[in-house]
Chains A and B, each alone.
Chain A
Amino acid sequence: MTSIADTWGDERVVVNAPTEELLLSPAAEAQLLWRLRSRMVRTMLRQALATARLRVTLVVLLSAFFWYGLFLLFGEGFRFLSHTIAHPVTQAQTVQAVYNVFFASLLVMLVLSSAIILYGGLYRSAEAEFLLTTPVRPERIVLHKFQEAIVFSSWGFLLLGSPMLVAYGLQVEAGWYYYALLLPFMAAFVYIPGGIGAIVCMLFVHHLARLRRQALLLAGIVLVGGILLLIWALLAKTEGNLLTANWFQEMLGRLQYSEHRLLPSWWLSSGLLEASRNDAGQPGSAPWAESLLFLSLLISNALFLRVMAVAISSRIYRKSYSELRTDHARRRPRANFWLDQAVLRFAPLLTPQMRLLIVKDLRLFRRDPVQWTQFLIFFGLLALYFANIRRFSYDVNYTAWVNMISFLNLAVVGLILSTFTTRFIYPMLSLEGRRFWILSMLPVRRESVLWGKFLFAVVGSSVPCCLLILLSDFMLRVSPLVLAIHQLTCLLLCLGLSGIAVGLGAKMPDLREESPSKIAAGFGGTLNLVISAIYIVAVVLFTALPMHFYLVMSQTETDSDRYSRYLIAGIAAALLTGLTATIVPMRLGLKSFRSLEF
C-alpha cells in the first residue's frame, strides 16, 4: 500500500491505492499491445496493396522464386546423398550431421541477431522511450519488443529452412505429421535463441554499461577468434579426396561439436528426423511420439527462457535504460583526419566545393557505426573466405574450375556491394534533400552535389573491392591476364553500381522520409537492387564466359584466335554495359535533380 499526504496544496490529498490496482492486468496489457501491433500491420498491408502493388508483387514473386529455387537445390542435394551414400545408417548420420551443423550455426546467429535487434528496440527506439513514460510494465515492453525481434531475426530461417525441410520430407517420404510438426518445431526453436539473446542483451547493458567499449572489444576479439579457430579446424586439409568415404568420416568427426546433447539445435534436428521416419506402420514404431518428446523439450526450454527474461526485465530494464542513456561522455570528433586533409589538398581535378562535399560525406560515414561496421563485417568475412580459399581443397591446377570460382567470387563481391549501394548510397540524395536549405545557400551547383556523391561511392567501393579480388586471385593463383580482366570488371561493377544508386536516388528521392533504411526499402530502393543484380550478372557473364572458353581452348590449342576475339568482344560488351549503367542513370538523375523542388 502507498500512503502519502500532500500538504502543500489548498486541499489535503491522500493517495492511497495499491500499485497493482493502478495498472491494467498483465493479460489486458498484452492484449492492448497485441491489438496495437495487429492494427499497424493491417494498415501497412492495406497501404502497401493500395500504393505499392508492383513492389508487393515483386517481393512475393521473388520470395516464391527464391523458396522454390532452394527447394529444388535441396531436393537435388538429398537425392545426391541418397545415391552417393548407399548405406542407410551412414546416410542418416550424414543428414543428421548436416542438420546439426545448420541448426547449430543458426542458433549462434539467432542469439546474436536477436540480441542486436533487441538492443536497438529496447534501448534506442523512440517507441521504447514512449512506452517507458506510460503505465505499461517494463517486462511487457520487453516482451513487446521481443516478439518484434523474434520475427525480424528469424524470417530468414523460415525462408531458408522450410524448403530444406520440405525437400527432405519428400525425399524420405515422411508421413503427414512430419509436415504438421515443422512449424511448431521451428517456432519453438527460434524462441530459444531469442530468449537467450534478450537475456544476454539486458544483462550486458545492465552490468557492463560502464565498461561497454572495452567489453565489446573483448567480446568481439573472443568471437572473431572463436570463429577463426572453428573455420581453421573445419577447413584443415583432409587426408582423403573430396567426397570419398574417408573424407566423409573425417568431416563427420570434425562436426561432432554440433552433436552435443544439450544443444537445442540437436533437439530440433533429432525431433525432425524422428518425425520423418516412415516406419510408422510397423508394430511398436511411433516416430511421432519420439518427435513430440523433442518438441516438448524445445517448448519447455523456450518457456523457461521466457520466464527468465520476464523476471530479469522487471528488475533491471528501467535501470539499465537509464544507465545506458546517461553513460556517455561527450566526445569531440577529430577535425583533422588524414583522409579529409588528403581529399581537401590532393584532389586537383575537383572543384573546392565538390571536395568539401566529399569530405562531409566521409565524415558522416566515419561517424556512423551502422555503416562502417556492416561494411567491415561483410567485407571482413569475404576477406576471411578468400584468405582461406586454398583450404577448401580446390584444385588450383584445374583451370576451368579456378576460373569459375574466381568469377563467382567477383559476382559475390558485386552482389554484396550492391546491397551497400542500395542501403547507403541510394538514400543519400533523399537525406540531402532534408538539408537542402543549407546546400541551397551555398555557392554549389546541384550537379556538383550529385557528382560528389558519385565520386565518393566509386572511390569508396573500388578500393576495398579491387583489393578483395586481388586477394582472391592471389590465393587462386590465376594468370596475369585473368587478374587484369578481374580488376577491370571489378572497376566496372563499382562504376555502374555507384551510377545506378546515385542516379536513381536523384531520380526518385523520398524527401519526407528520415530513415535511410526505410528509403532503401521503398520502391526506388527495391528497383535499385533489382537493376544492380541484373547489371552484375550481365557484366560478370560478359567477361566470365569468353574467358572460360578462351582458357579451355588455349590449353587444347585449337583455334585459340577465335576465342581471343570472343574474349575481346566480351570485354567490349562489359565496357559498353558498364558505361551505359553509369551514364544513363546519372543523366536521368542530373536532369531530375536540376528541376527538383524541395
Chain B
Amino acid sequence: MIEIEHVTRRYGAKLAVDDLNLHIPRGELFAFLGPNGAGKTTTIKMLVGLLRPSAGTIRLAGHDVGQQQTAANRLLGYVPDVPYLYDKLSGNEFLRFIADMYGIDSREADERIREQISIFKLHEFVDDLTESYSHGMKQRVAFAAAMLHDPQVLVIDEPMVGLDPRSVRVIKDLLRKKARGGQTIFMSTHLLSIAQEIADRVGIVDQGRLQFLGTIDELRARVASHESSLEHLYLSFTAPQANGQDAAITPASTEESA
C-alpha cells in the first residue's frame, strides 16, 4: 500500500533522508521511530505531498505521489503534529468541510460526523469555534477529520502529543482496530512505548538512514541476543556511534533499506 523506493531528500547540503526503502502492506500499523531531526517528519511530508523526493519514488495505493499527488491525497488521511483548523469555523463545520471535500454524500456525512464526534468525545466543544480549543482538542478534531472519509492510508505525525490519557487510549485502540480492518497506518513517534504496544513493525531511523526494520518480536529477539533492554537497544540504534561503521550493535535487519 505504501511503497518508498530509494528515496533521498536533501535540505541544501544536509541529507535529511538517505536512500530509504520501505514497503508497508495493507492492514499494517507501522511505527517510524527516531530521535529529533532523524528524518521522520521529512519522510511524512514526502508521503503527504508537501515535499518531493530529491531522488527515488513513493507510491500510495498505486499512485506515484510525484505525478498524482492530488489523487493520492484522496486515499490518504493525515494528522500532523500541529494540526491546522480554521479559526473561524466550529469543529462541526470543519468536519462538514472535510466531508464535502472528499465528496461524501450529505446524509452519509451526517452519520459519519456523528460517529466521529462520539468516538473522540467531541460533544462538549464541537459547536464552538476552533480558535478556543486547546492543543488536545484540536488534535482530536484533526483525528476525526482524518478518519472521516475512511482513508486507505493513514499518516500520523507524533499522534499522542498533547492528548490526555483517555484520548491516548481511545486512539491506540482505534488505530489497532483500523489496521485490523485493512487500513495502512504510518505513524511517526519518538516514544518506543507506543510502538511496542500497538505497532506491527517498527523502523528506526537516525540521521536519515534506516537503522532497523522489523517486528517488535524481532527487536525483542535482538534484545535477548544482546542481553539488553528494548530501550537500551533502541538508544544504541540512535546513538551517535551507531551511524558509523563501528556501531556497537550493527543493525542486521535492514534488508529493505539500500
Contact = CB atoms under 8 A, between A and B. Distances in A.
A8 interface: yes
A19 B69 contact: no
Interface in B63-121: 63, 68-71, 73-76, 78, 80, 84, 86, 88-89, 93, 97-98, 100-103
B26 A11 contact: yes
Nearest to A7: B25
Interface string A121-153: 000001101101111111000000000000000
B225 to A, nearest CB: 27
A43 B94 CA distance: 13
B252 interface: no
Contacts of B45: 325
B12 interface: yes
Contacts of B76: 133
Given A8-B26, A36-B97, A330-B14, A15 B70 contact: no
Contacts of B59: 4
Contact of A136 (B70, B78, B129): B70
B69 A136 contact: no
Contacts of B48: 132-133
A22 interface: yes
B105 to A, nearest CB: 13
A10 B51 contact: no
A146 B126 CA distance: 30
A446 interface: no
Contacts of A39: 88-89, 93
Nearest to B63: A2
Contacts of A15: 61-63, 75, 152
A570 to B, nearest CB: 49
A326 to B, nearest CB: 5
Interface string B1-29: 10000000111111010000001111110
Interface in A315-330: 318-319, 321-323, 325-330
Nearest to B76: A133
Given A8-B25, A127-B84, A3 B62 contact: yes
A329 B15 CA distance: 11
B182 interface: yes
Given A133-B78, A136-B70, A328-B11, A9 B102 contact: no
A7 B76 CA distance: 19
Contacts of A339: none
A217 interface: no
B49 interface: yes
Given A3-B62, A13-B1, A329 B11 contact: yes
A303 to B, nearest CB: 24
A21 to B, nearest CB: 9
Interface string A1-44: 01111111111010100010011100010001001100110011
Contact of B97 (A2, A24, A32, A138): A32
Interface residues of B, number: 49
B74 A22 contact: yes
Contacts of B98: 134
A19 B68 contact: yes
Given A19-B71, A130-B84, A135-B71, A6 B62 contact: yes
Given A24-B101, A325-B51, A4 B61 contact: yes
B187 to A, nearest CB: 16
B138 interface: no
A47 B132 CA distance: 13
B52 interface: yes
B50 A135 contact: no
Contact of B88 (A8, A10, A44): A44
B14 A2 contact: no
Nearest to B52: A322
Contact of A40 (B12, B23, B62, B86): B86
B75 to A, nearest CB: 7
A13 B93 CA distance: 34
Given A8-B25, A15-B61, A318-B69, A129 B84 contact: yes
Contacts of B102: 135
Contact of A11 (B52, B80, B97, B182): B182
B135 to A, nearest CB: 13
A132 B61 contact: no
Given A326-B51, A329-B13, A8 B1 contact: yes
Interface in B174-206: 182
Nearest to A127: B84
A329 B16 CA distance: 12
Nearest to B10: A326
A104 to B, nearest CB: 37
A578 B142 CA distance: 52
Contacts of B14: 329-330
Contacts of A5: 62
Tell me which of A9, A319, A321, A326 has the highest count of chain B C-beta atoms within 10 A of its own C-beta: A326
Given A9-B25, A9-B26, A138 B70 contact: yes
A133 B75 contact: no
Given A24-B101, A136-B70, A325 B50 contact: yes
A10 B71 contact: no
Interface in A321-359: 321-323, 325-330
Contacts of A2: 62-63, 68, 71
Given A9-B182, A318-B49, A326-B11, A137 B70 contact: yes
B93 to A, nearest CB: 7
B26 A6 contact: yes
Nearest to A321: B50
A40 B129 CA distance: 10
A438 B1 CA distance: 46
Contacts of B10: 326
Tell me which of A23, A44, A327 has the highest count of chain B C-beta atoms within 10 A of its own C-beta: A23
Nearest to B73: A135
Contacts of B182: 9, 11
B71 A9 contact: no
Interface string B141-165: 0000000000010000000000000
A32 B62 contact: no
Nearest to A19: B71
Contacts of B13: 329
B73 A134 contact: yes
A45 B86 CA distance: 15
Interface of A: 2-11, 13, 15, 19, 22-24, 28, 32, 35-36, 39-40, 43-44, 47, 126-127, 129-130, 132-138, 318-319, 321-323, 325-330
Given A322-B51, A330-B11, 18 more contacts: A2-B62, A6-B1, A6-B25, A8-B23, A9-B28, A10-B26, A11-B182, A19-B63, A32-B101, A36-B86, A40-B86, A127-B86, A129-B84, A132-B50, A134-B73, A134-B98, A325-B51, A330-B14
5 contacts: A5-B62, A10-B27, A13-B1, A127-B84, A127-B86
Interface of B: 1, 9-14, 16, 23-28, 45, 48-52, 54, 59, 61-63, 68-71, 73-76, 78, 80, 84, 86, 88-89, 93, 97-98, 100-103, 129, 152, 182
- The 10 closest A-B CB pairs, nearest first, are A4-B62, A8-B25, A9-B26, A329-B12, A135-B74, A130-B84, A40-B88, A19-B71, A9-B25, A322-B52
